[in-house]
Amino acid sequence: MTVARGTLMAAGTVLAALTLTLAGCAGPPQARDGTPGGPGEERAETGVAGQDAPRLRAPRLIGDGSTAHTGRQPHQPEARPLDPRRTPPQFVVFSWDGAGEDGNRLFSRFRKAARDNGAHMTYFLSGLYLLPQHARDAYRPPGRSAGASDIGYLRDENIAATIEQLRGAWLDGSEIGTHFNGHFCGADGVKRWSPEDWISETEQAKWMVKNWRTTTGFDHLEPLPFDYESELIGSRTPCLEGRENFLRAARELGLRYDSSGTGRQVWPDKTDGLWDVPLQLVPMPGRGFETLAMDYNFMVNQSGPGSSADTGRRDQWKREMRDGLLAGFQRAYQGNRAPLIIGNHFNDWNGGIYMDAVEEVIEEVCPREDVRCVSFRQLVDWLDAQDPAVLERLRTLGVGERPAGGWPAFLAGRGPSA
C-alpha cells in the first residue's frame, strides 16, 4: 500500500535484551519529484592499504542493458592481514535500508557526505524502487497477490533518479545490497516465509535491477556499471524479521553476510559460513537502557513510531541520537575496536533531525586517520583476509574492553586478555 509522506510503513518489533529497543523499519522515499544530485570532489582513499582505482573498461552489456560488466570496482581498499604490532583499525559501517532517491535528495546528500569524508557505505536497495507502477504485476510476493507491497511504488522520475544514484554510489566505491521488495512486516509478513519464499523474493529483487530498462523504457540512462549477480553479497531483512529461514536460503543464494540481526559491540563471527554483522546496541543518552544504532529506533524511544507534533524537542532528540552513536563509537574506539554497525533510512522523520545527526557523526569520525568508514563488502573482505586465530582472540574481548597487556601482546596470543 502507498502511505502518505512522513508516515511509517510498518511497525517495529519490541526486543527484550536488558534494554528497550525496536527493530528498524524502512521508511521509503515517497512519490515526489526528485532529480539526482551532482558529483562532488573525490576525497583521498582512507581505506586499509588503499590503492588507486583502475580505469573502467568499456561497458559490456548484460541482458537488456540495464547492467554491464565494467571491470573492477573503483576505490576499493586492499584487504591485508592485521599487523600484530598495531592496534586494529576502527571500522564503521553506515548502511541505508530502502535506498531510493526522492524529492528530499537524501541518497545524493549522503553520497556527497561520504565523498567529502573519505567514507564508503552500503545501500540496501528495495528492488521495487526500480519497478514502475504500471509494471507492478511483474512482482509476485510470496503469499500475496501480484503487485502487492507495503511500501509505495516510485514515480518514474524518482526511479530514474534512483538509478543515477545507484550508478554513482558504485562508482564512488560503495556497495549495493538488498532490502528485498515489498517490505512485509508483522505477524502476516516475512516472519512466515519459507527458505523457498526468500529465494523467490531475492531472485525477484535481482530481476528488477537487471531489467529496469525493459520495465521503464528509460533508454537514455546509462547502465548500472556492475553485474548484480556478483555485486549482491549481503542483505538486511524488512524490520529485521524472518531471519531464521532467510539464513537457510542465504548460502544457496551465494551471499556472504547478513545484517538482519541485533547484537552488541563485539567482533563478528560467522553463522553457517555467513558473516553475521548485526545492528548493535548503543547508549541511549539520558536513559537507563540501550537501543539499536538506527534512526527508527531512536525515534521510537523519543516520539513513538512516527513524527511528533512536539517540534520543540527536536534539537534535544537530534543531540541524543548523535551523542548515542558517538558514545558507541568511543566505546569501541577506546576499547575492543569492534566494528560499529549503523543503520538508517532515507527519511525525514521529525523534520529530518536523524539525517542531520548521522551526517554530524560521519563528519566527526570518518576523517580520523585510524578510522575506516567502509561498506559491509569491504569489512567482510578484511575479515576474510585475517588469521582465524587472531579473529578468535578479538572475539574474546567484551564490549568496550581493551586488552590489559596492550595490543601487540594480545594479538600475539600473550597477555592477560589473550
Of 129, 104, 116, 93, which is closest to residue 37 (Cα–Cα)?
104
Is 181 inside a domain boundary? Answer: yes
Phi-psi region of 46 (alpha: psi -120 to 50; beta: other; left: phi over 0): alpha
Is 390 inside a domain boundary? Answer: no
Rg (CA), the chain: 20
Cell numbers 519497478 correspond to 131
User: What is the structure's pLDDT at 49?
Assistant: 38
User: What is the structure's pLDDT at 45?
Assistant: 32
Which residue type occupies 339?
P
User: What is the structure's pLDDT at 39?
Assistant: 28
Instruction: Compute the distance between CA of residue 256 and CA of residue 100 in angstroms, rounded to an integer.
Output: 24
* The C-alpha cell that represents 211 in the structure block: 531489467
Is 281 inside a domain boundary? Answer: yes
Q: Three-class SS string for the chain?
A: CCCCCCCCCCCCCEEECCCEEECCCCCCCCCCCCCCCCCCCCCCCCCCCCCCCCCCCCCEEECCCCEEECCCCCCCCCCCCCCCCCCCCEEEEEEEEECCCCCCCHHHHHHHHHHHCCCCCEEEECHHHHCCHHHHHHCCCCCCCCCCCCCCCCCHHHHHHHHHHHHHHHHHCCEEEECCCCCCCCCCCHHHCCHHHHHHHHHHHHHHHHCHHHHHCCCCCCCECCCHHHHCCEECCHHHCCHHHHHHHHCCCCCCEECCCEECCCCCEEECCEEECCEEEEECCCCCCEEECEHHHHHHHHHCCCCCCCHHHHHHHHHHHHHHHHHHHHHHHCCCCCCEEEEEECCCHHHHHHHHHHHHHHHHHCCCCCEEECCHHHHHHHHHCCCHHHHHHHCCCCCCCCCCCCHHHHHCCCCCCC
| Through-space distance between the first and last CA atoms of the chain, rounded to whole angstroms | 53
Is 256 inside a domain boundary? Answer: yes
For the chain, list residues with pLDDT below 50.
Answer: 1-22, 26-53, 417-418
* CATH number of the domain within which 262 lies: 3.20.20.370
Is 175 inside a domain boundary? Answer: yes
pTM equals: 0.88
Domain hosting residue 129, numbered range: 14-26+85-385
User: What is the structure's pLDDT at 57?
Assistant: 77
Is 60 inside a domain boundary? Answer: no
Q: For the chain, how many structural domains are there in total?
A: 1
User: What is the structure's pLDDT at 56?
Assistant: 75
Is 51 inside a domain boundary? Answer: no
Is 395 inside a domain boundary? Answer: no
Rounded to 10 deg, the angle between the 195-210 and 243-250 helix axes is: 70
